[in-house]
Amino acid sequence: MKAACQRGRYLHFWRSIRGARVVSPQVWQGKADSGFALLLVLWTLAFLALIGTHVLLQGRTMVVDASARQKHIALELAADSAIRQELYGLILASPQIPPGLEAWHEREDGPFHVMIRAHLERGQVNPSVISRDLLLAVMESSGIATQDAERASSALYGWRGHPLLGAAPPPGSFVPADMGVGCKVTHGPFHSLDDMASLPGVGWAIIQRIAPSVSLSQMQYPSSAGAVPAVQAALRRLNRSGNSGASEWLSQPPTLGGGASVIVEALVRDEQGAEKRRANVVLMPDAEPEPWRVMRWETVPVE
């Protein structure tokens, strides 16, 4: 009985082996290739989805940046337009100064709210225009020793030969070889602080002292009202010394004639932002195409 049972187990075992399907190596390789292909397709789809998301985000960022840039340009154009309108108004009113010149006044320009004001620059001195006495006084008021101030003021005043003052040209000893590499023989107004510093007897040490009191765009004599401290002290010094021209300078009312240096500021706002622009120009009523010369036109921080 026991032998018959054991023989039955063997028979069952051999039948199961004979009935089993044998999987060839080629079939296993095919299944592996199919799985790898499916994995490759899934990775490709994921990579394409990532690229698409990046492109969409980058496009959205570009649209937002372009929109912000367009709004910035619109504010800037509105501010520049307001500045030009203000300058044309000053030209039409010249040589008289309109009332409330330095006060902010408002106007509407389509969707923009504009605030604008103009300021007549007479608080500094232009070494190309002022007399030697005033230039000397400004230097002494800036803390420069009298001997150095006399030497520097004589060099600046003698070299410029400004036609408005009818100054004589420099003496014959001032030849190009003596003036150094940085100085040009123009015998005209100075165009930069470098022009002034390059003169013998001047130098950067002196120019740095008087730089806060100098404006190369200001074509009128300074006014004590609103002048920088060194210029105020210089005007008082000349007035106390009995200088014949000091009282005349102080009594001269400001005008908007040719050569007046004007600073115009425009603040433009809308619902989404603000922009402030500032222009420093010299009024020149006979100039074309615009009756002024731009010295500086810039964007300034909104306070």
Instruction: Indicate the domain borders of the chain.
Output: 62-122+257-300, 132-251
Task: Quote the tokens at residue 131.
Answer: 């007399």
The whole-angstrom separation of Cα 198 and Cα 170 is: 15
User: Whose CA is closest to 189, among 216, 214, 160?
Assistant: 160
The whole-angstrom separation of Cα 127 and Cα 161 is: 11
Most confident of 66-80, 173-187, 243-257: 66-80
Question: Of 50-54, 182-186, 295-299, where does mean pLDDT reach its minimum?
Answer: 182-186
CA-CA-CA-CA torsion sign (65, 68, 72, 77): positive
Residue 289 has pLDDT above 90, yes or no: no
pLDDT of residue 199: 87
pLDDT of residue 257: 65
Residue 183 has pLDDT above 50, yes or no: no
Work out the percent of the chain whose per-residue pLDDT is above 90.
Answer: 18
Tell me the one-letter amino acid at 101: L
Mean pLDDT in residue range 118-123: 81
pLDDT of residue 18: 52
- CATH class held by domain 62-122+257-300: alpha beta
Residue 70 has pLDDT above 90, yes or no: no
Looking at per-residue pLDDT, the higher value among 156 and 94 belongs to: 156
The whole-angstrom separation of Cα 124 and Cα 211 is: 10
Burial string for 206-215 (b: 16+ CB within 10 Å, else e) reads bbebbeebbb
pLDDT bucket at 10, cuts 50 / 70 / 90: low
pLDDT bucket at 182, cuts 50 / 70 / 90: very low
Residues 6 or more apart whose Cβ sits within 8 Å of residue 91: 256, 283, 285, 291, 292
- Indicate the helix (H) or strand (E) that contains 254: none
pLDDT of residue 114: 93
The whole-angstrom separation of Cα 13 and Cα 23 is: 19
Residue 176 has pLDDT above 70, yes or no: no
